[in-house]
Structure 1
Amino acid sequence: MRGRWPLAFWLGLFGLTWLLSAFSFQLSKTLDARWLLKYPKQWELPLEGAIKSFLDWLVEDANFGLFTFRDLTRAIAAVVEMPYQILRDLLIEGFSSGIGDAAVQIAPSLSWIAVITCATAIGHYARDWKLGALVGGCFLYLAVFGQWESAMITLSSVLVAVPIGAVGGLLLGIAAYRTPWFDRMMRPFLDLMQTVPVFAYLVPILILFGFGPVAALVATVIYAMPPMVRITVLALRGVPEEVIEAGRMAGCTRRQLMWKVLVPSATPSLMVGVNQVIMLTLNMVIIASMIGAGGLGFDVLAALRRLDIGGGIEAGLAIVVMAIALDRASQAFAERSQRARLSGNLVRRHPWSTTVFVVIAATLALGLVLPGVQSYPDRLTLTTGPFWGEAMKWINVNFFDTFEAIKVVILNWLLLPVKKFFGGIPWAWGILVMGLIAGRIGGWKLGLLAALLMGFIAATGLWPKAMVTIYLCGVSVLIATLIGIPLGIWAAERPGAGRVILGLMDTLQTLPSFVYLIPVVMLFRVGDFSAMVAVVLYALAPAVRYAAHGLRSVPEALIEAGTMSGCTRSQLLWRIKLPMAAPHLLLGLNQTIMLALSMLVITALVGTRDLGQEVYIALAKAQAGPGVVAGLSVAFIAIVADRIFNALAEGQKRRLGL
């Protein structure tokens, strides 16, 4: 019966929680035992001071014999900074000799024409002319709309962070594939890296590496690497056994088997991991701008701070355009098959390489006499900033009353009652109930893990903030699911609508998380409602995608059997397709929760009073201890939710015989 809970049991559980909360309140008043409601201050774990002391020791005193920890961070910084500065010189600043006013330019940077030609060539090489035109058009957009310099700074960061994240993730994934104990050891670290809010480890990185682009690149690599590790392990394990046996029969050594058989066979899946690294890197550019990354991320953040709706959307759209170009190109490389080599001379064998070389040489020469060839002319620059600003102003003037009415209804009838319920849960009963839920679904080990992780949150004194986080996440995920699953069903049942809906989900997934805050704040002001709207928009895509994928994955034989039995279209959906797609729906719900929690930390900028606010305040004050503790609390909530919904999905698969 584990994992099979009727609706009555869930309602009874929530009712019991409410009664226990009311009973605890009365009991605490009667016995003057406030500890029943609020975790006693003297029982709290002194983690913040311990983390600060540990970081101080690392920076000041840690010595490994041949080198200090400071020497190690400086070496890492030098390794990262060198290619980053070379790429900046190549793409935007030009190469120079000397320092400050005495610097003399040796060679200019690549012209905007040369960069666009390179982008077009990469798109065509990856697939065809259509992709080449799309990628080249995206980069042309950056020049025409005045985002070129910031975009090239961001591209420099991406071109450094992605190879480090992809190669590092590949090597760690290979080690985990070869060594089971290393795989088991890596899993909790990967869970933490993917669930701890980015803001939480920006402070330690800031302390260890200082303010600037190097610290931002290190944070970006840490954020973007975990998916590559996981996908590498899955891809290598997915290589057919007969392929591996063929390699062994051919006399391959262990090293040859890995690099000449396994890795080439898993390349399409590995390229999906590279695609994920690219998208996470671009999602990180705004957050990394807080510690000195610069580029488009800084432009969005600066616009958000001064509520410049036009400038923020324009810079955000530039990130989206770059994301689309890099995403489509990396996907094309993942699907690309080997092409036959052309015969003939060098130009015939490598037409695009020759074209790019000629364009670079020609633009370097022409740029000396025609500045418009080197840098896009300012007089030809277009801007959409005023349009977006006026559009938002028009919406506010004409629809303010409507938006305000919707906001008031949802606040009074949904947000505030749920907030009151979760805010009234005493820490002891909350730990007990969470342990019971997890234990019932996944067994006693999961129940114990959930109780311990929730106990950690209580012991840090962050229980009230955690309850606000759970309430906001829960309401946002509920609304995203109620919207997302019907959209996913529509996309699966109607192919024409599916292309539009999934294309819209692509757009929502490529939008940086900060970009959602600008129009939301302009329309709904600050507060929990604005945070909820931003989280729903950001976390909607997995619910739609998993629902559509689950319905499309239902075996055709089952649908045929239902049709032969006389089922109507509606009966096929509700009695066959949706029950069979339930594991996918649960996994989509899991991913929706993960995205909602990551976005909630960012919505601290619009006035929420949850764990995200604690993390953001710690970053603003450069206090590593409070930031790490609050970040771990968010991560532990995410881990508990992830384990519970994975257990539900596995249980559903077993019941369906999948």
Structure 2
Amino acid sequence: MRAGEGIAGAVPRAGLRGSGAWQRGAWLWGGIVAASLALAAWVGPVPVPKALTPDMAGWVSAALRWLVERADLGLFSFKELTRAIAAVIEWPYSLVRAALVDGWVEGRGSRARTILQPLSWIAVIAIVAAMGAYARSWRLGAFVGACFLYLAVFGRWESAMVTLASILIAVPIGVAGGLGLSIAAWLWPRFERALAPILDLMQTVPIFAYLVPILFLFGFGPVAALIATVIYAMPPMVRVTTLALKSVPPELGEFATMAGCTTAQRIRKVLLPAALPDLMVGVNQVIMLSLNMVIIASMIGAGGLGFDVLNALRRLDIGAGIEAGLAITALAIALDRLSQAYAARTADVPMSAGASGGWPRRHPWLSTVALVILGTALMGLVLPPVASYPAEAVITTKAFWGDLVKAINIRYFDDLEAIKTAFLTFVMLPVKRFLLALPWPWVLAVAAFAGWRLGGAPLAATGAALGAFVLATGLWEQAMTTVYLCGVAVVIAAFIGIPLGILAAANDTAGRVIGGIIDTLQTLPSFVYLIPVVMLFRVGDFAALIAVVLFALAPAVRYTAHGLRSVPPEMIEAGIVCGCTPRQVLTRIRLPLALPEILLGLNQTIMLALSMLVITALVGTRDLGQEVYIALTRADTGAGVIAGLGVAAIAIIADRLIAAGAAHARARLGLQRGTP
């Protein structure tokens, strides 16, 4: 009884401490906002002196030109190194593309002769269906096969196979590179500390910013697109693998050492197999991020489904854009489900020696797939529809989607326009004017003060230094526009996502429904969000805002639900014993204890919003993302890199401040750090 009374007494005390700290923080930051309003109204924007904005873009462009034209690494030049890297990547890509799309051709031009046809559409569908059935069940195999059949039926097969060829090369390179870096980080802590800021930059620099120097170094084509995809998709693999290796019980490593294993044997035969389920999660992330790059990579020659979507957006072809976007969605969902199934299989299915007998009996799936490949190849010589899906059987939905969007615009134009105008007038434009009117010294001072309050002098110095870098880029106004769009989008995503997370944690049925919707939103490549938004709201800040909110919503929901589910049951029971109503249990116990996870979800929402803002430059925003996109179109490497680093600086400031806030919340509540 006394123990129960102790727990019951601890609950309201923890709630009061959290409530008091929250109120003090609200008063403090409310005062800062009020002071900012008064200062903006009184002083107004302060021009940035030219002496504080050196020509950093020119310096970067000159450095890259020197690197390509004059840099000598001893045995070879830097240009020869880039050509060697391109050749190493191009060779396997050509093989995979030949197997899926082009076939093997002998000769060139008019003398070209196909000596071996690519895999038939039936064979590819059989392969992925067999993979799904092997990984989990016939139901998954049928679902994945249906997704690929959709690509053929709706006339997107060739484009989808070009995209799949890129994925099949980019993912192994990203996984192998991430695995090697993470093993080195696990072995040498100093290397891990040195690698951390590089990974931060790789994850926060906008995707478009990768394309500018890569285009300069490797030229236009699928190889440059593959390199950009690997750089974008590798960091999660490094982070997940490093965490997985650290999570392996130490006694396993000690046992391997006692058994006489070398360091390499200990990693290869003990640690990596033990961490395999977590490693498969990293592989899944690499696959999804690679798919997220397909449209952006098409800007520098990747082709495939990404080029179809980009071309439709440029021509404002509503039907073709939606149809190509749905094809990317089908491919993304199929690959996502397959990779998740293999991750679960590595965790649940023990290793076995296999069945006895000959090779077909020991490998029934491989045997079946081999027979299908051989059979369809031979039949395709006689029946062309077996080799290539017949054009006369292709179904198109371009007219349907075009008519649907046109009907919505005609019927609901006034309503949509009224919503757009009201939100722009009363929310977005006032916030934009306020931020643009703030004097830049005040903004830097607030960033430094926030860092000092949350993390002491080191974080204050970091905030001030990164803010000063943004100022020195000469793009202060564009940076404040980025902060305005990201801030409004994150607030809206939080207002929608946190209640949805609360509902998902409170009700299992609602949790499954909301989880399915969030899974779908996370599976969709970022460019796909632009298609319906542009069709309904046209270009501008409001269209960009809607796309960013949809793309960045998922972490707010997931982390909130995880934080609420992680609250110890005894704390909730103690609150009920104290006489708390369900509403009081939520507001005074569960939400305060889940606050660190909610803050981490907010952090991820900000990261996704910033990454999406660069993509929404295509719909008319005037922020740092637009500067990166303009630099890409002009092949201005310096301007693109500097604008991209400006976005990264804003992202790192937000990441460090929110991470410090989450750490403060955990320390105040006496919680151990958890990982959702």
Scaled to the shorter chain, the TM-score interval is over 0.9
Deviation per CA, 1:36-68, whole angstroms, max 9, x where unpaired?
A: 711112331221111111111111111111101
Q: Which residue of 1 aligns with 2:76?
A: 67
Deviation per CA, 1:465-524, whole angstroms, max 9, x where unpaired?
A: 100100110000000100011111111111111111111111111111111112111211
Deviation per CA, 1:17-44, whole angstroms, max 9, x where unpaired?
A: 223334434xxxxxxxxxx711112331
Distance, in Å, in 2 between the alignment partners of 1:443 and 1:312 is 50
Alignment partner of 1:278 is 2:287: yes
The SS at the match of 2:118 is coil
Cα displacement (A) at 1:192: 0.4
Cα displacement (A) at 1:560: 2.4
The SS at the match of 1:251 is coil
* TM-score normalised by L of structure 1: 0.97
Cα contact 1:289–1:297 (8 A) shared by 2: yes
Deviation per CA, 1:304-338, whole angstroms, max 9, x where unpaired?
A: 11111211111111111111111111111111123
Alignment partner of 1:398 is 2:411: yes
Q: Which residue of 2 aligns with 1:288?
A: 297
Q: 1:564 aligns with which of 565, 569, 577?
A: 577
1:597-608 aligned within 5 A? 597-608=610-621
Alignment partner of 1:162 is 2:171: yes
Q: Which residue of 2 aligns with 1:547?
A: 560
Cα contact 2:52–2:471 (8 A) shared by 1: no
Count of residue pairs the alignment pairs up:
648
Deviation per CA, 1:423-466, whole angstroms, max 9, x where unpaired?
A: 00111111111111121111111111001101011112111110
Q: Which residue of 2 aligns with 1:172?
A: 181
Q: Which residue of 1 aligns with 2:38?
A: 19
Distance, in Å, in 2 between the alignment partners of 1:265 and 1:588 is 28
Q: For structure 1, which segment, 548-557 or 269-278, has the greater mean C-alpha deviation from structure 2 after superposition?
A: 548-557
* Percent identical residues: 62
Q: Which residue of 1 aligns with 2:4?
A: none
Alignment partner of 1:231 is 2:240: yes
1:222-621 aligned within 5 A? 222-336=231-345, 337-338=349-350, 340=352, 341-621=354-634
Cα contact 2:305–2:324 (8 A) shared by 1: yes
Q: 1:190 aligns with which of 192, 199, 203?
A: 199
Q: Look up the equivalent residue of 2:265 and give its one-letter code.
A: Q
1:639-658 aligned within 5 A? 639-658=652-671
Distance, in Å, in 2 between the alignment partners of 1:43 and 1:609 is 22
Q: Which residue of 2 aligns with 1:32?
A: none
Q: Which residue of 2 aligns with 1:10?
A: 29
Cα contact 2:503–2:510 (8 A) shared by 1: yes
Cα contact 2:60–2:637 (8 A) shared by 1: yes
Cα displacement (A) at 1:301: 0.5
Q: Which residue of 2 aligns with 1:626?
A: 639
Q: Which residue of 2 aligns with 1:130?
A: 139
Deviation per CA, 1:85-118, whole angstroms, max 9, x where unpaired?
A: 1111101111111122211111100000100111
The SS at the match of 1:146 is coil
Distance, in Å, in 1 between the alignment partners of 2:584 and 2:190 is 48
Cα contact 1:219–1:288 (8 A) shared by 2: yes
The SS at the match of 1:581 is helix
Q: For structure 1, which segment, 126-135 or 142-151, has the greater mean C-alpha deviation from structure 2 after superposition?
A: 126-135
Cα contact 1:112–1:374 (8 A) shared by 2: yes
Distance, in Å, in 1 between the alignment partners of 2:356 and 2:145 is 28
Q: Which structure 1 residue ranges, 5 or more long, are not aligned?
A: 26-35
Q: For structure 1, which segment, 228-237 or 377-386, has the greater mean C-alpha deviation from structure 2 after superposition?
A: 377-386
Alignment partner of 1:51 is 2:64: no
Distance, in Å, in 2 between the alignment partners of 1:130 and 1:168 is 34
Q: 2:122 aligns with which of 84, 99, 113?
A: 113
Distance, in Å, in 2 between the alignment partners of 1:144 and 1:216 is 28
Cα contact 1:17–1:433 (8 A) shared by 2: no
Alignment partner of 1:220 is 2:229: yes
Q: Look up the equivalent residue of 2:91 and give its one-letter code.
A: M
Distance, in Å, in 2 between the alignment partners of 1:584 and 1:122 is 36
Distance, in Å, in 1 between the alignment partners of 2:90 and 2:265 is 33
Q: For structure 1, which segment, 247-256 or 633-642, has the greater mean C-alpha deviation from structure 2 after superposition?
A: 247-256
Distance, in Å, in 1 between the alignment partners of 2:442 and 2:382 is 76
Q: For structure 1, which segment, 552-561 or 407-416, has the greater mean C-alpha deviation from structure 2 after superposition?
A: 552-561
Q: For structure 1, which segment, 38-47 or 112-121, has the greater mean C-alpha deviation from structure 2 after superposition?
A: 38-47
Distance, in Å, in 1 between the alignment partners of 2:638 and 2:351 is 54
Moved over 6 A (4+): 1-4
Distance, in Å, in 2 between the alignment partners of 1:62 and 1:531 is 41
Q: Which structure 2 residue ranges, 5 or more long, are not aligned?
A: 1-16, 672-676
Distance, in Å, in 2 between the alignment partners of 1:441 and 1:222 is 32
Cα displacement (A) at 1:339: 5.0
Distance, in Å, in 1 between the alignment partners of 2:225 and 2:327 is 20
Q: For structure 1, which segment, 424-433 or 586-595, has the greater mean C-alpha deviation from structure 2 after superposition?
A: 424-433
Distance, in Å, in 2 between the alignment partners of 1:497 and 1:386 is 35
Cα contact 2:101–2:158 (8 A) shared by 1: yes
Cα contact 2:603–2:655 (8 A) shared by 1: yes
Distance, in Å, in 1 between the alignment partners of 2:371 and 2:427 is 63
Cα contact 1:21–1:429 (8 A) shared by 2: no
